[in-house]
């Protein structure tokens, strides 16, 4: 495969090449193999990788017509490599971050010291729709509010940066494992020679984590995965995780609460449930506690959790800590609880609820990325440099209507990695979402769901916006 036309830029970090065109040390083996493979063979590998997703039914499901439309996420077959030292630094930073976030959540739902000390303005917390006042006084098992976290990281020329924490129901881990299975079988020798660390143990580690969070009196805990149902786009992942753990895959209608305990409807009658790994948003979890019109939830389940009879993982109410307004305070949160400097930086963020930040945002719309505080999936955001004056004007009107609903950030030129585009390698922007599991201790599987903006120049990697994925190899040494 010919890298002759591969575009490099001093402003944009390339995952394989230094800006002078030489190959990064940990990527030399991969580059050598890619050089030897003709474009047509790479295309065959690419097709094989995509086919393995289709045959395996590893799909997003889009419903609407009589039958589900199943779409596979586009996968690029060229792996992205991370050197051992890079991963070590990421792991340490993520572990630090989740430790602080769990302390933060425990504090704001209980003593509220950080608010009283003025480190985080109370109104930011109390105005956040993800803050659940009815959870005040709640303490989940072992103080672990967030047992499963998917943190989105990007890399700039200055190093890794946290783009956002996904603390509610982070998804993508099944793609991490599926990408691995598909990619390694097509680069067998390279995989062995690179000494790649394995990600296939994720299910076992999740099971161990969930077991550690079971209520104190549950000796052999019954663990279930709770899905909103087959209509959910991440249903494949829910099924995958249930299978990996040997757990039942339940929906709300399969569960009942009796005397503040949760039971599932088995063929032989009701069976008590100890841990619910719920992949359903707070809003829909319990119509008695949150949205009354939820048909997906289980009445009384939150009360059962508050009484310590069942563990909900992640705990309800965690969304307040991944709110985009709160995000900008996480470095202060780390300093406050851990007396440490953040090991991974965040992106500078202007909260439009503050008049001076609003003014700055409106004055610099053309250079900024502006997001709705409660938005996700890449929807409803403005990428200043890619927008038209008309779009900016319209967006400015929206911001002025409700400034507290917006934040802005600088447009970051985050890193690119080679992707196979029509038999030729071309650079595309990539991020990574490692998964951090916390039970009695924090464990991070050495890998990540690596997302790719497959369109040339595009900065949006979300799969809902046409983004794809690729395998990420963490090397042993």
- The single residue among 89, 181, 270, 345 that binds other proteins, judged by CB under 8 A, is 270
Q: Which residues contact 381 (CB under 8 A, 6 or more apart)?
A: 369, 370, 371, 372, 375
- The single residue among 110, 201, 248, 465 that binds other proteins, judged by CB under 8 A, is 248
Q: Where would I find the H helices in 276-429?
A: 282-285, 301-306, 324-327, 330-338, 355-363, 389-401
Q: For other proteins, which is the closer residue by CB, 249 or 382?
A: 249
Q: Which of residues 108-147 bind other proteins (CB under 8 A)?
A: none
Which of 105, 102, 86 lies closest to 438 in space, CA to CA?
A: 102
Q: For other proteins, which is the closer residue by CB, 90 or 182?
A: 182
Interface with other proteins includes 292 (CB under 8 A)?
A: no
Q: How far apart are CA 373 and CA 389, in angstroms?
A: 23
Q: What is the DSSP letter of 219?
A: S
Q: Which of residues 50-109 bind other proteins (CB under 8 A)?
A: 54-57, 66-68
Structure tokens at 98: 């989740």
Backbone angles phi, psi at 170, to 5 degrees: -60, 135
Segment interacting with other proteins (CB under 8 A) among 48-56, 371-379, 393-401, 419-427: 48-56
* Least distance to other proteins, CB of residue 249, Å: 6
* Least distance to other proteins, CB of residue 239, Å: 5
Q: For other proteins, which is the closer residue by CB, 68 or 338?
A: 68
Q: How far apart are CA 58 and CA 295, in angstroms?
A: 27
Interface with other proteins includes 253 (CB under 8 A)?
A: yes
* Least distance to other proteins, CB of residue 69, Å: 12
Interface with other proteins includes 48 (CB under 8 A)?
A: no
Helix (H) or strand (E) holding 450: strand 450-452
Q: How far apart are CA 389 and CA 210, in angstroms?
A: 50
Q: For other proteins, which is the closer residue by CB, 247 or 330?
A: 247
* Least distance to other proteins, CB of residue 250, Å: 6
Q: For other proteins, which is the closer residue by CB, 231 or 379?
A: 231
* Least distance to other proteins, CB of residue 188, Å: 20
Segment interacting with other proteins (CB under 8 A) among 106-114, 202-210, 242-250, 307-315: 242-250
Q: For other proteins, which is the closer residue by CB, 152 or 222?
A: 222
Helix (H) or strand (E) holding 107: helix 84-108
* Least distance to other proteins, CB of residue 230, Å: 5
Size of the site for other proteins (CB under 8 A): 28
Segment interacting with other proteins (CB under 8 A) among 84-92, 168-176, 237-245, 423-431: 237-245
Segment interacting with other proteins (CB under 8 A) among 240-248, 274-282, 315-323, 446-454: 240-248
Q: How far apart are CA 178 and CA 234, in angstroms?
A: 14
Interface with other proteins includes 239 (CB under 8 A)?
A: yes
* Least distance to other proteins, CB of residue 258, Å: 8
Interface with other proteins includes 290 (CB under 8 A)?
A: no
- The single residue among 29, 37, 115, 256 that binds other proteins, judged by CB under 8 A, is 256
* Least distance to other proteins, CB of residue 181, Å: 11
Q: For other proteins, which is the closer residue by CB, 28 or 265?
A: 265
Q: For other proteins, which is the closer residue by CB, 260 or 332?
A: 260
Angle at 42 between CA 195 and CA 9, to 5 degrees: 80
Which of 62, 26, 50, 367 lies closest to 179 in space, CA to CA?
A: 50
For residues 278 and 313, the answer to whether their CB atoms sit within 8 Å is yes
- The single residue among 147, 226, 250, 310 that binds other proteins, judged by CB under 8 A, is 250
ω into residue 314 within 30 of 0, thus cis?
yes
Q: For other proteins, which is the closer residue by CB, 240 or 473?
A: 240
- The single residue among 8, 264, 386, 404 that binds other proteins, judged by CB under 8 A, is 264
**69 strand-pairing partners:** 62
Segment interacting with other proteins (CB under 8 A) among 2-10, 205-213, 233-241, 429-437: 233-241
Interface with other proteins includes 251 (CB under 8 A)?
A: yes
Backbone angles phi, psi at 470, to 5 degrees: -150, 160
For residues 450 and 472, the answer to whether their CB atoms sit within 8 Å is yes
* Least distance to other proteins, CB of residue 55, Å: 6
**427 strand-pairing partners:** 418
**110 strand-pairing partners:** none
Q: Is 324 left (phi over 0), alpha (psi -120 to 50) or beta?
A: alpha
Render the burial of 317-337: b for 16+ CB within 10 Å, e for the rest: bbbbbbbbbbbbbbbebbebb
Q: Which residues contact 443 (CB under 8 A, 6 or more apart)?
A: 205, 208, 209, 436, 437
Q: Which residues bind other proteins (CB under 8 A)?
A: 54-57, 66-68, 230, 235, 239-240, 242-243, 248-251, 253-254, 256, 263-270
């Amino acid at each position: 495969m010919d890298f002759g036309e591969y575009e490099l830029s001093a402003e944009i970090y390339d995952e394989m090449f230094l800006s002078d065109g030489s190959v990064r040390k940990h990527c030399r083996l991969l580059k050598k193999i890619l050089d030897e493979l003709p474009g047509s063979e790479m295309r065959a590998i690419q097709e094989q990788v995509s086919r393995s997703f289709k045959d395996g039914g590893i799909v997003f499901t889009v419903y609407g017509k009589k039958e589900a439309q199943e779409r596979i996420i586009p996968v690029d077959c060229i792996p992205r490599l991370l050197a051992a030292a890079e991963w070590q630094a990421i792991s340490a930073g993520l572990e630090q971050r989740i430790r602080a976030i769990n302390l933060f959540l425990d504090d704001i739902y209980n003593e509220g010291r950080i608010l009283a000390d003025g480190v985080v303005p109370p109104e930011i917390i109390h105005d956040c729709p993800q803050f659940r006042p009815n959870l005040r006084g709640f303490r989940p098992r072992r103080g672990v509010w967030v047992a499963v976290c998917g943190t989105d990281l990007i890399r700039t020329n200055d190093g890794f940066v946290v783009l956002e924490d996904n603390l509610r129901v982070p998804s993508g881990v099944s793609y991490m494992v599926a990408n691995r299975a598909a990619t390694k079988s097509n680069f067998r020798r390279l995989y062995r020679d690179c000494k790649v660390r394995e990600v296939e143990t994720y299910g076992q580690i999740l099971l161990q984590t969930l077991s550690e969070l079971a209520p104190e009196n549950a000796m052999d805990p019954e663990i279930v995965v709770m899905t909103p149902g087959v209509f959910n786009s991440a249903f494949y992942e829910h099924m995958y995780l249930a299978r990996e753990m040997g757990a039942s895959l339940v929906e709300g209608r399969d569960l009942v609460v009796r005397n503040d305990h949760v039971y599932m409807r088995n063929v032989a009658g009701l069976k008590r449930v100890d841990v619910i790994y719920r992949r359903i948003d707070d809003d829909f979890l319990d119509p008695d506690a949150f949205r009354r019109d939820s048909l997906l939830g289980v009445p009384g389940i939150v009360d059962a959790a508050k009484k310590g009879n069942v563990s909900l993982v992640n705990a309800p109410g965690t969304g307040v800590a991944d709110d985009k307004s709160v995000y900008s305070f996480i470095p202060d949160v780390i300093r406050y609880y851990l007396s440490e400097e953040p090991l991974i930086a965040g992106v500078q963020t202007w909260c439009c609820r503050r008049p001076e930040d609003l003014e700055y945002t409106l004055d610099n719309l053309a250079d900024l990325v502006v997001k709705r505080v409660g938005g996700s999936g890449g929807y409803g955001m403005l990428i200043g440099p890619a927008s038209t004056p008309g779009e900016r004007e319209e967006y400015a009107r929206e911001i002025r209507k409700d400034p507290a609903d917006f934040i802005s950030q600088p447009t970051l030129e985050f890193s690119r990695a080679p992707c196979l585009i029509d038999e030729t390698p071309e650079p595309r922007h990539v991020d990574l979402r490692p998964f951090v599991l916390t039970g009695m201790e924090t464990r991070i599987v050495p890998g990540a769901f690596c997302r790719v903006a497959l369109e040339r120049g595009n900065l949006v990697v979300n799969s809902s916006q046409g983004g794809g994925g690729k395998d990420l190899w963490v090397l042993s040494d």
